[in-house]
Amino acid sequence: MNYTVEEKEFFMREALKEAEIALANDEIPIGCVIVKDGKIIGRGHNAREELQRAVMHAEVMAIEEANAHEKSWRLLDTTLFVTIEPCVMCSGAIGLARIPWVIYGAKNQKFGAAGSLYDILTDERLNHRVELESGILEAECAQMMQDFFRKRRQK
Amino acid sequence: MNYTVEEKEFFMREALKEAEIALANDEIPIGCVIVKDGKIIGRGHNAREELQRAVMHAEVMAIEEANAHEKSWRLLDTTLFVTIEPCVMCSGAIGLARIPWVIYGAKNQKFGAAGSLYDILTDERLNHRVELESGILEAECAQMMQDFFRKRRQK
């Protein structure tokens, strides 16, 4: 993955657009895109409430779309951009899909499994390891979550 | 969850039937059923190769079916029976679906996340904890995996 900072910010803004779809549906605002050769091959947003499906996190939705696009469960040579650090399930799914590069915006201290609670993506005991970067558009990614939870507490 | 040993073995045999479907498709033979009030509301088998979807493990397929059956992402008062210890992704999915009871047949020393590599299902830092039991029809569940990998090595 040899994207410039500008390219990384471009794709993270696309992930933020997905997070805005979740926000408009009153879902926890997390968005994701999967990129191959500079093109988006999968998009996803948290849709647990909308679809009443427990596994429909942004990353899983994007992986499902990318698997269909590639006609393969293996997402070789792809980069996954997600606004918030992946949870345990999504970190596991990223490894199972063999995604080699992951970039996330802001940490999730409560549920993150890519540095916060666990280091699933870089665990040497597992058969797939990811090159991980964080902090791209961190403030915007974190702000969207903070606004959502502030509003929810006010209700 | 107040199932007798006979009932637990009955439902694990149903999970083994699902594993046999995977085996017939030349997939790693793992099967799962989700039970509520003594009735199966979700069934699943590993279908990664058949469907070319990275997330299509037995547990995720069963959770998706149970979510549709219940018209809810929350699988309250359910028991998940799976032939082999869940991986990281599936352990995360079980927590996200709020499944309270999990019974698995045999351990997975290489990828298991419910006692082997991780203890995801009983981690007190996460917001959902599972009551876990293992060893039901352990020999049959393990044997199916051993036969599969022995045949694969011979090919």
pLDDT tens digit sequence for A74-130: 999 999 999 999 999 999 999 999 999 999 999 999 999 999 999 999 999 998 889
Check residue B127 and give its pLDDT.
82
Residues of chain A with Cβ-Cβ distance to B93 below 8 Å are: 54-55, 89
Give the chain A residue whose CA is nearest to the CA of B59.
A55
Check residue B80 and give its pLDDT.
98
Q: What is the mean pLDDT of residues B68-80?
A: 98
- pLDDT tens figures, A38-78: 999 999 999 999 999 999 999 999 999 999 999 999 999 99
Q: Residue A1: pLDDT above 80?
A: no
A96/B89 Cβ within 8 A: yes
DSSP annotation of B121 reads G
Give the one of B56, B91, B111 whose C-beta lies nearest to A88's C-beta: B91
Q: Residue A145: pLDDT above 80?
A: yes
* Encoded tokens for B137: 């029809």
Check residue A99 and give its pLDDT.
98
User: Which 3-state string (H, E, C) describes chain A?
Assistant: CCCCHHHHHHHHHHHHHHHHHHHHCCCCCCEEEEEECCEEEEEEECCHHHHCCCCCCHHHHHHHHHHHHHCCCCCCCEEEEEEECCCHHHHHHHHHCCCCEEEEEECCCCCCCECCCCEHHHCCCCCCCCEEEECCCHHHHHHHHHHHHHHHHHC
Check residue B128 and give its pLDDT.
87
Please report, rounded to a whole number, the percentage of residues in chain B having pLDDT higher than 70: 99
Q: Residue B84: pLDDT above 90?
A: yes
Confidence of residue A155 (pLDDT cuts 50, 70, 90): confident
Q: Residue A34: pLDDT above 80?
A: yes
* Positions at the binding site of B: 57, 87, 90
Give the chain B residue whose CA is nearest to the CA of A49.
B73
Q: Which residues of A touch B (CB under 8 A)?
A: 48-49, 51-57, 60, 63-64, 67-68, 71-75, 87-93, 95-98, 110-111, 113, 117-118, 120, 123, 125-127
Does residue A90 have a known ligand-binding role? yes
- Contact indicator for A94, A121 with CB cutoff of 8 Å: yes
- pLDDT tens figures, A12-33: 999 999 999 999 999 999 999 9
Give the chain B residue whose CA is nearest to the CA of A74.
B54
Average pLDDT over chain B reads 96
Check residue A23 and give its pLDDT.
95
Q: What is the mean pLDDT of residues A135-152?
A: 95
Residues of chain B with Cβ-Cβ distance to A56 below 8 Å are: 73
Q: What is the ipTM of this complex?
A: 0.96
Residues of chain A with Cβ-Cβ distance to B53 below 8 Å are: 64, 67-68, 73
Rounded-to-10 torsion of CA A120, A121, A124, A126: 70
Name residues whose C-beta falls within 8 Å of residue B144's C-beta, 6 or more positions apart in sequence: B16, B19, B20, B23, B29, B83
Backbone angles phi, psi at B18, to 5 degrees: -65, -40
Check residue A35 and give its pLDDT.
98
Residues of chain A with Cβ-Cβ distance to B90 below 8 Å are: 89, 92
Q: What is the mean pLDDT of residues B95-105?
A: 98
